[in-house]
Structure 1
């Protein structure tokens, strides 16, 4: 599927939830995004949808405290259009968040990931500038243990040179026990990685 064939042509906020009975009931495919607080998730979502301000960007980590659903329309070909939900999950690993809040968030995030009937893919976002972080490793291990489909995305690649990106790819691949090709390097600023991510998401909408 080429970049010109697959695209997001419409995006809008749908709902926020902390319980299953609050999830949209449309039966549409869902693709969820999760990552450490301040990983650049909102910027990536806005970049993917080409909709500035769709997901709120904050300099304060831990700002997203609910599961947020966005209704997207994908153009799969000249004739085919398909709606789906992009699901923005709260960030994990923010130290200043209270213990009670962390437990509450953990519970409803886990419930969503385990029980959402239309969830087809979880995109785990990882900041390319750092060595493997304990929270990221633990999240990936949990997703694997629960046999959930994961796409690893490396954010903020515009902060590094091409040489540094290749070096970090190798470091992170070793740390996460995957191949470098298992990552999609992404820059919300430059839009690099957008076509590759769409090529992963759009075929799911045809299943």
Structure 2
């Protein structure tokens, strides 16, 4: 499995943590040539269908209504772009482009449709040099074959992954540690390298050490990311 990028812990953080300052929908694209020039820090958001990707994106943007959510898995089939300004507890506001990739692994889709969406994801990974990829994993389900296939595709283009466990609010507190360890073990990393979140309660999203703070660091070119938000460097 890919090695962990062990980066030094940030020190001296204070305040309420980063927060979304302004967010907007940019466009939906079927192909990469429809995407804007890569003039901003770009973070892709990936995960299986029904992993809670749209809900977490809404929480991350600070505007849940900005992202279309559906009770039917697999509703995201295009590359959906958003831009958000995140203000850290220290330093200037940073602007980040978020790319919502189509969900993968939805068995109810026909083989042809699954192949078409897989090709769309692969084309994005090949064409764009994004700052990082947030890989969302349902803490209740663990890591499935479809997740490992995505990691292999990302590895072919040496993308940097951030492991994000979703829906922690749906797990009893007594079982959360085990759920986090199960994902960590699948990638050969420490449990602290799995960022635990809830779109409903905003745990792991807002406040010190949250995903909005991570976005601010990434947009600012920070290489010193808190080990609790550590990333995987994957090489093809």
Query: Normalising by structure 2, what TM-score?
Result: 0.81
Q: Partners in 2 of 1:3 and 1:170 — Cα distance?
A: 30
Which of 56-65 and 71-80 deviates more?
Answer: 71-80
Which of 189-198 and 78-87 deviates more?
Answer: 78-87
Structure number with higher helix proportion: 1
Distance 1:169 1:66, change over 3 A: same
Count how many residue pairs are aligned between Structure 1 and Structure 2: 206
Which structure 1 segments of 5+ residues have no match? none
Task: Find 2:161's aligned residue among 150, 158, 166.
Answer: 150
Kindly indicate whether residue 143 of structure 2 is the aligned counterpart of residue 132 of structure 1.
yes
Aligned to 1:190: 201
Kindly indicate whether residue 92 of structure 2 is the aligned counterpart of residue 80 of structure 1.
yes
- Residues 85-143 of structure 1: CA distance to partner in whole angstroms, max 9, x if unpaired? 111001000011122222221112111112114x1010000000024211112222332
Question: 1:146 deviation in Å?
Answer: 2.8
In the TM superposition, what are the counterparts of 1:34-49 in structure 2 within 5 Å?
34-49=46-61
Distance 1:137 1:79, change over 3 A: closer
Structure 1 runs of 4+ off > 4 angstroms?
Answer: none
Is this contact kept in 1: 2:21–2:87, CA < 8 A? Answer: yes
Question: 1:170 deviation in Å?
Answer: 1.7
Aligned to 2:232: none
Q: Partners in 2 of 1:177 and 1:145 — Cα distance?
A: 19
Kindly indicate whether residue 176 of structure 2 is the aligned counterpart of residue 165 of structure 1.
yes
Which structure 2 segments of 5+ residues have no match? 1-12, 222-236
Q: Partners in 2 of 1:2 and 1:127 — Cα distance?
A: 30
In the TM superposition, what are the counterparts of 1:97-112 in structure 2 within 5 Å?
97-112=109-124
The alignment partner of 2:124 has SS state of helix
Q: Partners in 1 of 2:185 and 2:89 — Cα distance?
A: 37
Aligned to 1:202: 216
The alignment partner of 1:172 has SS state of helix
The alignment partner of 1:102 has SS state of helix
Which of 87-96 and 23-32 deviates more?
Answer: 23-32
Q: Partners in 2 of 1:133 and 1:78 — Cα distance?
A: 38
The alignment partner of 1:53 has SS state of helix
- Residues 44-81 of structure 1: CA distance to partner in whole angstroms, max 9, x if unpaired? 01111220211111011111110000011122357722
Is this contact kept in 2: 1:2–1:199, CA < 8 A? Answer: no
Distance 1:78 1:161, change over 3 A: same
Higher relative contact order (CA 8 A, sep 6+): 2
The alignment partner of 2:203 has SS state of coil
